[in-house]
RNA sequence: GGCGUGGUGGCCGAGUGGUUGAAGGCAGCGGUCUUGAAAACCGCCAAGGGGGAAACUCCUUCGUGAGUUCGAAUCUCACCCACGCCGCCA
């Protein structure tokens, strides 16, 4: 959620910043918020005035009762003003509800340094590794996986529908070894605390990180229980400290979680969806950091580096793309995507998204910290990055490291986890 | 899923309609005493939000929401959560 006080203080500045996202409808949304806010403030001021008046009268009533004096005329006046207070309270609540629901649908303000524009303005900020060269035409991962018995897409479709892959045999073992490799890397070398959170969460949790109320249709839900399957571990992990005040000394806080992710990806059928390119369920190791506001830019760089370390460890060539304002997600102020090269499909695949959310999620989730003992609480800044998503990483791994004989050689770092140096038929 | 009990300040725990924002205890902070510490004794001490340079001041808060009432921690309803027992289940 954006800061209402900032909006009151500098409506033009907020508007200009939001407009960098390139969505004209945001201007109207902002006007609506400002108008509701004016009404709200007027109602609150009037209600406060009336209540103060009534408090004084009530005290007098209590005093007279103790003194056994009559207070009939005061009671009559109180009854009358009570009606007005009730009406004003209802009005205030209505304003509040409207204000809240409008604000919850306005995206974060872009980071000043983020490039302005749509996807065409995204820029590659660095890259690592060389795309492999082959003496043969490299196959796409779904062919490799089928030949080696790593993946059973038809049976996944039978169980749940297309986009729900079944990893089989060495494929399942590969998933497990990747999870261990990534978790060990982040916990032992990058200092993250590991958690295993719920995969179903409530509305408050999804509102905290920004998926609700605006993107309910992207989520799988259990309506009877009013619970939703997490689209990313960011949701439960960031919300661990919802409605809490952290000690300043506890920041920055770094948490890692390995979970499946469930995404409806509605209307995404067709191109770019074959094999593991776009699925409804995939595993991901997620990194979440909470920090002081002044730390968040440095934390963002550090976090992105932690995600990159996974791809380096897996010896997968990748590039880092800084997203332009129009391509940046709803809650994020700035995002770097990590795109891994996949030789079989001949494309850069997004396998991690590293974002800084400034205080946007913290305000929604009410996550604060105490800058110093005894000081007033302030909102933290939240950041997260995939470290990394499995499906596309596995696709890249199979495609880049396939051999002429139809096997797949594994990167050094993965061998001890997997227990063999290659995936092959034998 | 059924029945029951309960949710009060950092913690424990009083409190069934009017100085209760909340007794008492513990913890914490300051002091007396002591070579130092402990013990004992005395004093202070809820949180969050708004305004203010500050002194200070206003608002909100007794699980959440709604209701009754001039007035609610206290009465009514709904919901959430915790614990116990039964049932079911990996």
Q: If you average pLDDT over residues A360-385, what whole number do you get?
A: 90
**3-class DSSP state for residue A252?**
coil
Asked if A247 contacts A292 with a C-beta cutoff of 8 angstroms, the reply is no
Measured in angstroms, what separates residue A323's CA from nucleotide B50's C1'? 38
Confidence label for A271 from pLDDT (cuts 50, 70 and 90): low
Indicate if CB(A82) is under 7 A from strand B: yes
Closest nt to A66 (CA→C1')?
A: B18
Closest nt to A82 (CA→C1')?
A: B70
Number of other CB atoms surrounding residue A404 within 10 Å: 8
Asked if A341 contacts A354 with a C-beta cutoff of 8 angstroms, the reply is no
Confidence label for A45 from pLDDT (cuts 50, 70 and 90): confident
Asked if A189 contacts A288 with a C-beta cutoff of 8 angstroms, the reply is no
Tokens of A223: 């309506």
**3-class DSSP state for residue A104?**
coil
pLDDT greater than 70 at residue A82: no
- Tell me the pTM: 0.91
Measured in angstroms, what separates residue A286's CA from nucleotide B7's C1'? 35
Confidence label for A52 from pLDDT (cuts 50, 70 and 90): low
Closest nt to A54 (CA→C1')?
A: B70
Of A279, A282, A315, A269, the closest CA to residue A411 belongs to A315
Round to whole Å and give the CA distance between A316 and A359. 33
Tokens of A276: 């593991």
Indicate if the alpha-carbon torsion angle A216, A217, A223, A228 is positive or negative: negative
Most confident of A26-35, A210-219, A235-244, A333-342: A333-342
Q: What is the pLDDT of residues A278-323, one digit of tens each?
A: 999 999 999 999 999 999 999 999 999 999 999 999 999 999 999 9
pLDDT greater than 70 at residue A222: yes
Tokens of A91: 């009005």
Asked if A242 contacts A366 with a C-beta cutoff of 8 angstroms, the reply is yes
**3-class DSSP state for residue A262?**
strand
Round to whole Å and give the CA distance between A74 and A69. 12
- DSSP-derived secondary structure for A44-94: HHHHHHHHHHHHHHHHHHHHHHHTT---HHHHHHHHHHHHHHHHHHHHHHH
Round to whole Å and give the CA distance between A2 and A25. 16
Of A295, A298, A412, the closest CA to residue A359 belongs to A295
Q: If you average pLDDT over residues A133-154, what whole number do you get?
A: 96
Indicate if CB(A377) is under 7 A from strand B: yes
Measured in angstroms, what separates residue A96's CA from nucleotide B57's C1'? 25
Q: What is the pLDDT of residues A403-420, one digit of tens each?
A: 999 999 999 999 999 999
**3-class DSSP state for residue A384?**
strand
Round to whole Å and give the CA distance between A370 and A385. 25
What is the CB-side half-sphere exposure of residue A36 using CA atoms within 13 A? 20
Q: What is the pLDDT of residues A172-212, one digit of tens each?
A: 999 999 999 999 999 999 999 999 999 999 888 999 999 98
Tokens of A104: 């919850």
Asked if A394 contacts A293 with a C-beta cutoff of 8 angstroms, the reply is no
Measured in angstroms, what separates residue A271's CA from nucleotide B52's C1'? 61
Measured in angstroms, what separates residue A5's CA from nucleotide B34's C1'? 55
pLDDT greater than 90 at residue A140: yes
Phi–psi pair at A84, nearest 5 degrees: -65, -40
Residue with tokens 């580096």: A305
Indicate if CB(A62) is under 7 A from strand B: yes
Residues of A known to be catalytic: 263, 278, 350, 353, 392
Alpha carbon A29 to its chain centroid, in Å, reads 22
Indicate if CB(A168) is under 7 A from strand B: no
Number of other CB atoms surrounding residue A88 within 10 Å: 18
Nucleotides of B under 7 A from a protein CB: 18-19, 48-51, 58-60, 66, 69-71
Q: Which of residues 265-324 of A touch strand B (CB under 7 A)?
A: none
pLDDT greater than 90 at residue A169: yes
Asked if A219 contacts A228 with a C-beta cutoff of 8 angstroms, the reply is yes
Measured in angstroms, what separates residue A375's CA from nucleotide B34's C1'? 35
Tokens of A239: 């919300």
Closest nt to A5 (CA→C1')?
A: B50
Of A162, A107, A385, A138, the closest CA to residue A274 belongs to A162
Closest nt to A89 (CA→C1')?
A: B66
Indicate if CB(A55) is under 7 A from strand B: yes
Asked if A422 contacts A408 with a C-beta cutoff of 8 angstroms, the reply is yes
**What pLDDT is stored for residue A56 in this prediction?**
63
């Amino acid at each position: 959620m954006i800061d209402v006080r900032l909006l009151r203080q500098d409506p033009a500045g907020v508007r200009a910043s939001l407009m960098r996202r390139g969505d004209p409808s945001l201007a109207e949304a902002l006007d609506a918020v400002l108008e509701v806010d004016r009404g709200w403030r007027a109602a609150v001021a009037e209600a406060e005035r009336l209540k103060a008046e009534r408090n004084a009268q009530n005290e007098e009533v209590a005093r007279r009762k103790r003194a056994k004096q009559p207070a009939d005329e005061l009671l009559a006046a109180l009854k009358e003003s009570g009606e007005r207070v009730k009406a004003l309270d209802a009005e205030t609540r209505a304003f509040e509800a409207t204000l809240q629901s409008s604000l919850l649908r306005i995206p974060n303000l872009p980071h000043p340094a983020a490039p302005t524009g749509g996807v065409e303005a995204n820029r590659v900020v660095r890259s690592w590794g060389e795309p492999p060269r082959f003496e043969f035409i490299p196959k796409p991962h779904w062919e490799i996986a089928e030949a080696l018995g790593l993946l059973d897409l038809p049976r996944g479709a039978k169980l749940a529908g297309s986009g729900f892959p079944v990893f089989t045999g060495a494929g399942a073992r590969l998933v497990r070894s990747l999870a261990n490799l990534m978790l060990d890397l982040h916990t032992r070398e990058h200092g993250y605390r590991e958690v295993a959170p719920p995969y179903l969460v409530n509305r408050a949790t999804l509102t905290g990180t920004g998926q609700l109320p605006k993107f309910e249709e992207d989520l799988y839900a259990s309506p009877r229980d009013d619970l939703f399957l997490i689209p990313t571990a960011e949701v439960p992990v960031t919300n661990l400290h919802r409605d809490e005040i952290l000690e300043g000394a506890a920041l920055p806080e770094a948490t890692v979680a390995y979970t499946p992710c469930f995404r409806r990806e509605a209307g995404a059928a067709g191109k770019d969806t074959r094999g593991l390119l776009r699925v409804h369920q995939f595993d991901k190791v997620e990194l979440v950091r909470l920090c002081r506001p002044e730390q968040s830019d440095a934390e963002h760089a550090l976090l992105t580096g932690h995600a990159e370390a996974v791809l380096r460890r897996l010896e997968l060539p990748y590039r880092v793309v800084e997203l332009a304002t129009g391509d940046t997600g709803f809650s994020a102020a700035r995002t770097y995507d990590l795109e891994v090269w996949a030789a079989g499909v001949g494309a850069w695949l997004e396998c991690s998204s590293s974002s800084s959310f400034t205080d946007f999620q913290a305000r929604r989730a009410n996550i604060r910290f105490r800058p110093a003992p005894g000081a007033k609480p302030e909102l933290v800044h939240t950041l997260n990055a995939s470290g990394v998503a499995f499906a596309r990483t596995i696709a890249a791994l199979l495609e880049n490291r396939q051999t002429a004989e139809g096997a797949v050689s594994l990167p050094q770092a993965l061998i001890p986890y997997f227990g063999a140096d290659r995936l092959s038929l034998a």
